[in-house]
């Protein structure tokens, strides 16, 4: 285990090696025996664990909690919903008319561009002699 990996495990799991993954414990113990820097990192993690254990959740009175919930309910009740919502912002039910119109317009534009020669497709022709030789040499591919 490298010192960088050890530092990452110490930051993620703390100073208690029992919380570390089993696969990393043996390597961590070997590194702790050899490296003073690893022992310093583990001591820093122990200080962080102590500070986190000493911290407590702030106390909030039930009256204050009820006031917050009441304000949230008031804000939701006062919310104005517009009468008209554009079709592209609306939620289901799905409205198929705009999609059908778009597809129809795309089909007409495609047909007109092909018929006017804006889009051309290569016509397939009979293979010439070199094509026949390649196919006969390689086999039918």
Q: pLDDT tens, 126-138? A: 666 666 566 555 5
CA distance linking residue 59 with residue 103, whole number of Å: 60
The number of CA neighbours under 13 Å toward the Cβ of 15 is 15
Helix, strand, coil % over all residues of the chain, rounded to 5 = 65, 0, 35
Distances (CA, A) of 79 to 11, 68, 71, 75, 85: 44, 17, 12, 6, 15
Enter the tokens of residue 116. Answer: 């006017």
Burial of 41 (0-12, 13-18, 19+ CB in 10 A): buried
Q: Round to whole Å and give the CA distance between 6 and 29.
A: 10
Distance separating alpha carbons of residues 42 and 90, to the nearest angstrom: 55
What is the per-residue pLDDT across 100-118, written as a single tens digit (0 to 9) for each? 999 999 999 988 888 887 7
- How far is CA 32 from each of CA 16, 37, 78, rounded to the nearest angstrom? 13, 8, 61
What's the pTM? Answer: 0.41
Residues (pLDDT < 70) of the chain are 87, 90-93, 121, 123-141
* Number of Cα atoms under 13 Å in the Cβ half of residue 137: 6
| Tokens matching residue 40 | 């310093």
């Amino acid at each position: 285990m490298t010192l960088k990996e050890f530092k990452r495990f110490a930051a993620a799991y703390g100073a208690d090696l029992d919380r570390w993954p089993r696969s990393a414990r043996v390597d961590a113990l070997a590194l702790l025996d050899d490296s003073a820097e690893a022992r310093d990192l583990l001591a820093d993690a122990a200080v962080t664990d102590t500070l986190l254990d000493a911290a407590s959740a702030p106390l909030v009175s039930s009256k204050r909690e009820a006031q917050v919930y009441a304000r949230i309910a008031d804000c939701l009740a006062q919310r104005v919903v517009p009468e008209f919502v554009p079709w592209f912002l609306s939620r289901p039910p799905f409205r198929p008319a705009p999609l059908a119109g778009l597809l129809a317009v795309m089909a007409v534009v495609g047909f007109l561009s092909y018929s006017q020669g804006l889009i051309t497709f290569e016509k397939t022709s009979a293979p010439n002699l070199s094509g026949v030789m390649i196919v006969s040499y390689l086999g039918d591919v």
